């Protein structure tokens, strides 16, 4: 059963069973959202967006065209995604940059993900980080700009700090 709060504006019909959409969310018509997701308060999801199964998106996140989030991903509160490397008012690129968050990755609160990068499987991006390059699987990154600070296993245990 899908639960959608009455204050949410959900235009898509492509939402998997068990997903919950909280207050004041807006989800546009072409977005695709998997099963058992938790879309928290005040989230905006654009059209060319794919979200896998078992994804948690905390409050205050905007997910723009060109972003793909695979299964079991955690997106912390107020994470900022971009999709245009040279934004200008009323001038749109021919195509938006593609960003992929791979299976099991976690992104901490207030991190900024610059468009066109991939965050690898089970990687961890620390709160407040600015991601300016691809993040390899099973690594820990934080800072501005984010730098690799360690490795992490599938269960979320940091196994080596650099």
Q: What is the mean pLDDT of the chain?
A: 97
**If 0-12 CB within 10 Å is exposed, 13-18 middle and 19+ buried, where does residue 31 land?**
buried
| Least confident residue range of 72-81, 88-97, 121-130 | 88-97
| Structure confidence by residue, pLDDT tens digits, 130-147 | 999 999 999 999 999 999
At 1-11, the pLDDT tens digits run 999 999 999 99
**Beta-carbon-side half-sphere exposure of residue 86 (alpha carbons within 13 Å):** 4
pLDDT average, residue stretch 28-41: 98
Q: Is the pLDDT of residue 88 over 90?
A: yes
pLDDT tens sequence across 51-71: 999 999 999 999 999 999 999
Q: Is the pTM of this model over 0.85?
A: yes
Reported as a pLDDT band with limits 50, 70 and 90, residue 47 is very high
CATH number assigned to the domain with residue range 1-162, chosen from the 4 options 2.60.40.10, 2.160.10.10, 3.40.50.1220, 3.40.50.300:
2.160.10.10
Output the six-digit token pair for 49: 């967006």
- pLDDT (0 to 100) of residue 159: 86
Per-residue b/e over 37-68, b at no fewer than 16 CB within 10 Å? bbbbbbbbbbebbbbbbbbebbbbbbbbbbbb
Is 63 within 8 Å of 47 (Cβ atoms)?
no
How many angstroms separate the CA atoms of 79 and 151, rounded?
22
Integer Cα distance of 74 and 58 in angstroms:
8
Structure tokens at 83: 């999709």
> Does residue 48 have a pLDDT over 70?
yes
């Amino acid at each position: 059963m899908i639960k959608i709060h009455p204050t949410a504006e959900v235009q898509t019909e492509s939402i998997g069973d068990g997903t919950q959409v909280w207050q004041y969310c807006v989800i546009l018509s072409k977005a695709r959202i998997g099963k058992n997701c938790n879309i928290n308060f005040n989230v905006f999801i654009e059209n060319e967006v794919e979200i896998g199964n078992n994804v948690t998106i905390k409050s205050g996140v905007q997910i723009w065209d060109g972003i793909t989030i695979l299964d079991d991903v955690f997106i912390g509160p107020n994470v900022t995604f971009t999709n245009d490397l040279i934004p200008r008012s009323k001038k749109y690129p021919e195509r938006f940059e593609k960003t992929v968050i791979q299976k099991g990755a976690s992104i901490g609160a207030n991190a900024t993900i610059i468009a066109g990068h991939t965050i690898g499987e089970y990687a961890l991006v620390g709160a407040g980080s600015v991601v300016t390059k691809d993040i390899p699987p099973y690594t820990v990154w934080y800072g501005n700009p984010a730098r690799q600070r360690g490795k992490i296993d599938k269960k979320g245990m940091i196994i080596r700090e650099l």
